[in-house]
Amino acid sequence: MSQQESMLVVSAHAADFVWRAGGAVALAASRGDRVTVLCLTYGERGESASAWRAGKSLEEIKALRRGEAQSAAAALGAEIGFLDAGDYPLRESDELVDRIVRVYREVNPTVVLTHPLADPYNGDHPAAAQMALRARVLAQAIGYPAPGEPIGAPPVFLFEPHQPEMCGFKPEVLLDITPVFDAKRKAMECMGAQQHLWEYYTDLARRRGTQLRRNAGPNLGLPQSTLGEAYMRVFPQVTDRLS
């Protein structure tokens, strides 16, 4: 019996996975794959400005962002977990990497999504990516002292940052998310603390959809309403056929 497909999304903050990878998450879940989102922080300090202006306390903001992310994950069909590692700054540590390794071993992902490795506007994002990649390597090592069996070599895809040109991001993979965009939009609308991003990422999906149609060519007959997400790869694609 073949292994069930399993996606792991390592997100620096509680909303990042929604904006950047909500379509990929919903597509995987719609196929019956297991999807696990791991939020390293709630984004309580750096990505909750409206809640701070409303006079909420730190713990109230954490609870707010946790609830938003749980609702968004449910809308996408994903499981979700939180490490509450603290943001702005999110600091890499051996203890935090070990906690991520344990999630890798438990989930045994066949694909991993996380942030790009550069972002001059938000150091939490590349910190999360570095830890996700480090944990992947450690989770593969039979001698690493964590529960569970060593994982294989899941491909890692980096989702699009908010300002891609400044992060060295190139759209190497264009994913058609048209069939599940309603679920992504519903998940975005769960993130009430960042309502200003709802239309931004809807517009981005339209632009990436236009690029997807152009690169797919006319034979597929994709409609003008096609919507997309963009990704980069970390490791080489292994194949026996170039296509």
Instruction: Tell me the domain boundaries of the chain.
Output: 6-231
Output the pLDDT for position 193. Answer: 84
Q: Please list the pLDDT of the chain residue by residue as tens digits (243 residues).
A: 356 899 999 999 999 999 999 999 999 999 999 999 999 999 999 999 999 999 999 999 999 999 999 999 999 999 999 999 999 999 999 999 999 999 999 999 999 999 999 999 999 999 999 999 999 999 999 999 999 999 999 999 999 999 999 999 999 999 999 999 999 999 999 999 899 999 999 999 999 999 999 999 877 788 889 999 999 999 999 999 987
Helix (H) or strand (E) holding 79: strand 79-82
Gap between the Cα atoms of 125 and 114, Å rounded? 9
Residue 177 near residue 24 (C-beta atoms within 8 A): yes
Residue 123 near residue 113 (C-beta atoms within 8 A): no
Q: 6-231 maps to which CATH number? A: 3.40.50.10320
Output the pLDDT for position 1. Answer: 39
Q: Could you report how far apart the first and last alpha carbons of the chain are, in Å?
A: 28
> Which amino acid would we find at residue 133?
L
**Which tokens sit at 205?**
């999906």
Give how far Cα 198 sits from Cα of 61, 102, 185, 187, Å: 20, 33, 8, 10
